[in-house]
Structure 1
Amino acid sequence: MLSTGALRAHLLAARLAGPVATSREESLRSYRLFAARDPRVLLGLDPERGWRERDLLGLMADRCGVSGDPGHVSGPDVIDPERTLAALDAFAGRLRRAGEARAPVLFGTGHPHRLLGFYAALAEALSAAGCVVLTPAQGRRVDMVGRFGVRTYRLDYVRGVALVREEGARPAAGATGAHSHSPLPVRIALGALAEAGGPLPELVVGDHGWVCGAGQLGFEAIGLADTDDPALFVGEAEGSVAVAVPLDDGVRPDYYRPLVGYVLHRAGLPR
């Protein structure tokens, strides 16, 4: 397990924090779209207040450490590693509570190519601690609207973590799943649990629509978010998301491994 100082150094070296690959242009575009309530960036969240672009910029400067200067419009965006570390501690605290209560937990990701291993390690630790890791609606059809019309996916689970695969994709072919922002998968998963009479998750862990979609429905939800994902931080500010951890969500999968040991140690969970 890395010390706090060593993890801070890793965050910067791996560009999980500090100057990140997400560009300032991408982040500002997301803030504009969110202010216009574009569903592509709301991620299933229905904000309580009207968020203007300048409000979002101020929020993201506070929660992530991006520049709050509206005149800064290009170049790499920046995440403050101290904010990442503080949020990881809060994230671990929620996992600790779930483990102590042996609570049912649901994991899901829209970034399976990058983050599947991170979530799977947490799911395995919680399972070893006595939690039920839920896997509802396996194989259920999910129709999502994209730039080229409606595409059909299937809900699947890998090592206890939900993801979606394009219809006909074979796990044996090496596909880990599709990138997705949609809240539809978590709605379908939660709906299946409700239809079956539970148990319902006491904690939902993930990113994108998995966190915002669950939080909007009143479930405790925690997750990871990049500088161009304002929805999770708005949800955190408004109380529908319990913890949003600012970091780059698109680096190499092995770069997230040191975070696993740190989080599990802080949460008092087995590795």
Structure 2
Amino acid sequence: MFPPIRGGRREAYATIGRVLSTGALRAHLLAVRLAGTVATTREQSLRSYRLFEARDPRVLIGLNPRRSWRQADLLRLMAEKCGVSDDPCVTSGLDVIDPERTLSGLHAFAERLADAARRGAPVLLGTGHPHRLLGFYGALADALSAAGCEVLTPATGERVDITTRFGLRTYNLDYVRRVALVREPGARSTSCETGAHTHSPLPVRTVLDAVAQRGGPLPELVIGDHGWVCGAGQLGFEAIGLADTNDPALFVGQAEGRVSVVVPVDDAVRSDYYRPLTRYVLNRACLSQ
């Protein structure tokens, strides 16, 4: 069982609908386990690091590392970027994310949003975690649009063939609240239904190819997670996003200069627990609506 939320669930829920101070947001991160002791296990993270060392495309998620990354290198990097233990003898239990690193990442994330808004830059948002993070990205899309940014929504309905653990599966690109995601064929396209979970970089490659073929504008900032960030960063687009401790590719991309900002955070908690992060980031970026 997970430890109880500090202060009780009623207090945690009360933080969801308002802009928090840095101290209050830190407490929220710990209370709902977005940071601190998170649900991602050490076993899951170590497995990802081993697969990354072997350059397994399921874990590279669109990144082509410039150098060889051994598991020991990844442990040191993830300890620096997330706060996990760098002790290779720690092989079980739950991972830990340092909330100070999460806050630092959110501050840098807000700076990139503010810069895009000042320039009126075209932006692209996409997620492989629509069940959890669609609301987070949707609010960013609304705020950036209100600030004068063009939120790109190309390639709607395009087919994307993605290799999964169940074999090759066909998905279709779609947008909800101007956030790109993929759906299984036949799934209803409504704002009440989210899409499929994926780490693949193929959706963002398909979208960017469609933009290029129609003559632009190309996004000056890509916002998302998993393959949306790594796939865009690998192609030379500025990319920022969220990542869990078992997603080393984004942090390697940041270390190698292909990804601008990565916020270390558990990416699979309840969707409403991300709402204070949204409000905090938009407030710091002067994009609060």
Task: Tell me the TM-score normalised to structure 1 length.
Answer: 0.99
Q: Give the whole-Å Cα distance in 2 for the aligned partners of 1:154 and 1:172.
A: 14
Q: Give the whole-Å Cα distance in 1 for the aligned partners of 2:111 and 2:279.
A: 14
Question: How far apart are residue 142 of structure 1 and its match?
Answer: 0.4
| Counterpart position of 1:108 | 126
| Counterpart position of 1:230 | 248
Aligned residue for 1:198, secondary structure, equals: coil
Aligned residue for 2:276, secondary structure, equals: helix
| Counterpart position of 1:242 | 260
| Counterpart position of 1:40 | 58
Q: Give the whole-Å Cα distance in 2 for the aligned partners of 1:113 and 1:44.
A: 22
| Counterpart position of 2:271 | 253
Which amino acid counterpart does residue 69 of structure 1 have in structure 2? D
Structure 2 residues not aligned, in runs of 5+: 1-18
When residues 29 and 121 of structure 1 are mapped into structure 2, their CA distance, relative to the original with a 3 A threshold, is same
Aligned residue for 1:150, secondary structure, equals: strand
User: Cα deviation per residue 1:37-66 (whole Å; 9 max; x = unaligned)?
Assistant: 000000100000000000000000000000
* 2:92 is the alignment partner of 1:74: yes
Match of 2:82 among 44, 51, 64: 64
Following superposition of structure 1 onto structure 2, how do residues 197-212 of structure 1 map, counting pairs within 5 Å?
A: 197-212=215-230
Q: Give the whole-Å Cα distance in 1 for the aligned partners of 2:189 and 2:54.
A: 38
| Counterpart position of 1:4 | 22
Q: Give the whole-Å Cα distance in 2 for the aligned partners of 1:165 and 1:83.
A: 33
Question: How far apart are residue 270 of structure 1 and its match?
Answer: 2.9
Aligned residue for 1:171, secondary structure, equals: coil
Match of 1:146 among 164, 179, 185: 164
| Counterpart position of 1:127 | 145
Q: RMSD over aligned Cα, in angstroms?
A: 0.9
Aligned residue for 1:55, secondary structure, equals: helix
* 2:107 is the alignment partner of 1:89: yes
User: Cα deviation per residue 1:138-188 (whole Å; 9 max; x = unaligned)?
Assistant: 000000011121110000000010000001111349530000000000000
| Counterpart position of 1:188 | 206
Task: Tell me the TM-score normalised to structure 2 length.
Answer: 0.93
Structure 1 residues not aligned, in runs of 5+: none
Structure 1 segments, 4+ long, off by >3 Å, are: 172-175
Aligned residue for 2:240, secondary structure, equals: strand
Q: Give the whole-Å Cα distance in 2 for the aligned partners of 1:175 and 1:152.
A: 18
* 2:173 is the alignment partner of 1:170: no
